[in-house]
Amino acid sequence: MPTPEHSASATPAWIITGPTSGIGRRTALELAEHGIVVLVGRDPNKLEEVEAEINARAGGHAISVVCDFSDITSVRRAAAQIVALGLPLAGMLNNAGIMPNRADRTPQGWDLAYTTNHLGPFALTETLIPHLPDHANVIFTCSGVEDPERKPAVTAGFRGARYISAEASARGEWQPGGSSKPGFDAYATSKQGNLATVLSFARETPRLRFIAVEPGFNPGTGLGRDANPALRFLAKYVLAPLAPLIKYWSTPKRAARLLAGVLTSQPHPSGVYYDENGKPMLGSAQVRDPAFSDRVVAETRALLAQVPSDTR
């Protein structure tokens, strides 16, 4: 791994997960203006498309790494591949995420949304931390729906994160009194896991900058790909054009500029949480309690330790 001194004089490499659609794709294209882009996603064909688009640009350079975030073994393998590239890593953006409208399971039997959104990104980040240079930015795309006091989220049907424990979340079990809409509790709890990771990691590893970003509600992105066709049509062609006019809403183009700008600029205070306008915001009272966020991280580590290492 290049030393920070070597990296400063070489072309920086930026890791982005979930780069094949919506906010992630646009952010990857923005990052191409700042150096090498390491594209990490589950669909090799879509990765190839984005890679080709970036490499076709003057000075563009992208490299793809296939990774299924619902499979911890795949995540660990992808992290090893990224390290083996020997690139001067400069920072990473955990953007991959899903919001299924039903309770799905991974082949291992874990809740699909919680694993994909929290456990997978956690495992990737923790593995890569030793290979990131001092002062690198590590961003997690978060969501205000984890906060039960956030009125727009409540109006939409969310009831905040319903965390019991990491093991309970992996089983798809949530605190009572949650949302009546399938998938909402899993999504909100997984996004609280992202934010808890940022806050706890910021205390644990002060040499890096851990940052959370709420990109705003972006109707029509790939996040809602499991919605029925009528709702997807409504989101893309009716709601999306209205997004710039509505508070807490945004567009993939605007969100991408925010995410790429935060990732590639310095300095930022570690542990900060930015809203869709790039201004500091607060998470839920629960996640702001250091004892709680540290417990989420400790329980996540213990759960992931149960997954056997890949011996291949």
Count of H-run helices and E-run strands, the chain: 13, 7
Evaluate whether 17 touches 95 at the Cβ level (below 8 Å).
Answer: yes
In a domain, 18, yes or no: yes
Q: Please state the pTM of the whole predicted model.
A: 0.89
Rounded to a whole number of angstroms, the distance between the first and last alpha carbons of the chain is 22
**DSSP alpha helix (H) spans, the chain:** 4-9, 22-31, 44-55, 72-84, 112-114, 120-128, 151-156, 166-170, 184-204, 229-234, 252-264, 285-288, 290-304
pLDDT given for residue 8 in this prediction:
41
Q: What is the dihedral of CA 290, 295, 300, 302, to 10 degrees?
A: 140
**pLDDT at position 298, please?**
98
Q: Is residue 274 part of a domain?
A: yes
* pLDDT at residue 252, as a whole number: 84
Distance CA 288, CA 255 (A): 24
The contacts of residue 101 (CB under 8 Å, 6+ apart) are 181, 182, 183, 226, 227
For residue 197, give the CATH number of its domain: 3.40.50.720
Distance (Å, whole) CA 153 – CA 144: 7
Q: What's the structural domain count of the chain?
A: 1
Region of 282 please: left (phi>0), alpha (psi -120 to 50) or beta.
beta
- The pLDDT score that the predictor gives to residue 106 is 96
Is 53 domain-assigned?
A: yes
Distance of CA 200 to the CA centre of its chain: 16
- Are 13 and 88 within 8 A, CB to CB? yes
DSSP-derived secondary structure letter, 133: P
If DSSP codes are grouped into helix, strand and coil, which group holds residue 145?
helix
Residue 258 belongs to some domain of the structure: yes
Per-residue pLDDT in tens (0 to 9) along the chain, 312 residues? 333 434 444 899 999 999 999 999 999 999 999 999 999 999 999 999 999 999 999 899 999 999 999 999 999 999 999 999 999 999 999 999 999 888 899 999 999 999 999 999 999 999 999 999 999 999 999 999 999 999 989 998 999 999 999 999 999 999 999 999 999 999 999 999 999 999 999 999 999 999 999 998 755 555 444 444 544 444 444 444 444 545 555 588 889 999 999 999 988 999 999 999 999 999 999 999 999 999 999 999 999 999 998 745
Angle between helices 44-55 and 22-31 (to 10 degrees): 30
Confirm if 93 and 259 have CB atoms less than 8 A apart: yes
In a domain, 297, yes or no: yes
**How many CB atoms neighbour CB 6 within 10 A?**
11
Domain span at residue 211?
A: 4-304
- Whether 310 maps to a domain, the answer reads no
Q: What is the pLDDT of residue 156?
A: 87
What radius of gyration do the chain's Cα atoms show? 18
Residues 6+ apart with CB under 8 A from 69: 17, 42, 75, 96, 115, 116, 117, 120, 121, 124
Is residue 276 within 8 Å of residue 255, measured between CB atoms?
yes
Cis amide linkage into residue 215, ω under 30° from 0: no
| 221 belongs to a structural domain | yes
Torsion region of 157: left, alpha or beta (phi above 0 gives left; psi -120 to 50 gives alpha): left
- Smallest CA-to-CA distance from 220 within 239, 202, 206, 199 is with 239
Residue 309 inside a domain? The answer is: no
